Amino acid sequence: MALVKRLLHQNGRMDLATTIASRYSRTMRERQLSNGCRTCDALQGNFPVHDEAMGRVTLAGVEGLNTVLVANCPVLEWQAVVHDNSGGVMAI
């Protein structure tokens, strides 16, 4: 999420970058960077975000997802995200 926040910020998407902040997760029992609701700042957990994304892909294929940013990203930073097995998702 730190990479996502940085890329959003660098590419002028402050509206989305500001929704990523450190919040306490009851599921993970720790603070972590997470998506937050634009209205109330409640944590948007990985499971609901993943379910929403998968539902869109199931109904309409990859075209069902919204592209909010296309950005250059250093290869090693992107590979660290792709090969991370923590179970997180990159969706805002």
SS (H, E, C) the chain: CHHHHHHHHHCCCHHHHCCEEEEEECCCCEEEEEEECCCCCCEECHHHHHHHHHHHHHHHHHHHCCCCCCCCCCHHHHHHHHCCCCCCCCCC
What pLDDT, in 10s, does the model give residues 43-67? Answer: 887 778 888 889 999 999 999 999 9
Instruction: Please give the model's pTM, rounded to 2 decimal places.
Output: 0.74
What pLDDT, in 10s, does the model give residues 65-76? Answer: 999 899 999 888
